[in-house]
Amino acid sequence: MNIIYQDKNLLVIDKPSGISADRELMMSLVKEFPELKKTGSFPRYGLIHRLDKDTSGILLIAKDNESLSFFQKQFKQRKVEKKYLALVAGDIKEKQGVIKTLIGRDRNGIKQRTYLSAGPEAKKTGPRLAETFWKKIKQYKNYTLVEAMPKTGRKHQVRVHLAHIGFPIIGDKLYSFKNQTIPKGLNRQFLHASELKIELPNKEKKKFISNLPEELKQILNKL
């Protein structure tokens, strides 16, 4: 895995698609960075946030418990700026928009689902408020490349929200529509965590960037 950045507090990696941001990932990182074993608890150790298994891109890991609390607090307070690149099915006419709904588990507990209401949130359990800004990057025949900027951090938020407005992410096996046409050669969901901005313990604001993986670039070139 490519290391984007590291200091005494933080490790930033470029997670490939196909690796779970949990046990599998952290066990491999502990071999290279033994200090992570003293951070947090198994299997997450210093994992500050998560990415879905088939989502690639920027992932943050804290090297000590104090840093773990410091960075996770920023996520909880919605101070972290995140950007994702996603290729969705369909032609989006608008240039940009915002999606604001409640998100909660479906009856089977497998998928997340949106609720038409934008509030209020459940106090302890149940649907939680989620907000995603998006803008159109490029139009292709039958597909649109968008940049999604989630303000909140609900599970599967970007995937659920884009499907909610009728434009599911291409290759998403959980939220895509039936009979969705997938570009030849795409073997994963087209979702990449491309940019993240966060404050370091020394008060410096740092922006991390991850370029689109080569296999996703090739899909766009073919389109």
Query: pLDDT per position in the chain (223 positions), as tens?
Result: 799 999 999 999 999 999 998 888 999 999 999 999 999 999 999 999 999 999 999 999 999 999 999 999 999 999 999 999 999 999 999 999 999 998 888 766 667 777 655 566 666 667 888 999 999 999 999 999 999 999 999 989 999 999 999 999 999 999 988 888 899 999 999 999 999 999 999 999 999 999 999 999 999 999 9
User: How much is the pTM?
Assistant: 0.92
Distance, in Å, from the CA atom of 101 to the CA atom of 82, rounded to the nearest integer, reads: 19
Looking at the 3D structure of the chain, how many domains does it have? 2
The 3-state DSSP composition of the chain as helix, strand, coil percent (nearest 5) reads 20, 35, 45
The domain boundary, picked from 18, 43, 77, lies at 77
From 77, 92, 108, the end of a domain falls on 77
* Cα-trace Rg, the chain: 18
Choosing from 77, 92, 111, the residue where a domain stops is 77
Domain range for 4 is 1-77
Residues 116, 18: one domain? no
Q: Determine the pLDDT at residue 126.
A: 73
**Do both 72 and 97 map to the same domain?**
no
3-state secondary structure of 31: helix
pLDDT score for 122: 62
Listed in sequence order, the residues at least 6 apart from 109 whose beta carbon sits closer than 8 Å to its beta carbon are none
| Residues identified as active-site | 52
* CB-CB neighbours of 71 under 10 Å: 22
Of 7, 32, 165, 162, nearest to 87 by C-alpha is 162
- The reply to whether omega before 201 is within 30° of 0 (cis) is no
- Cα distances (angstroms) measured from residue 191 to each of 158, 167, 219: 9, 13, 12
Torsion region of 17: left, alpha or beta (phi above 0 gives left; psi -120 to 50 gives alpha): beta
Half-sphere exposure of 184 (CA within 13 A, CB side): 2
Question: Helix, strand, or coil here: 64?
Answer: coil
CATH code of the domain containing 73? 3.30.2350.10
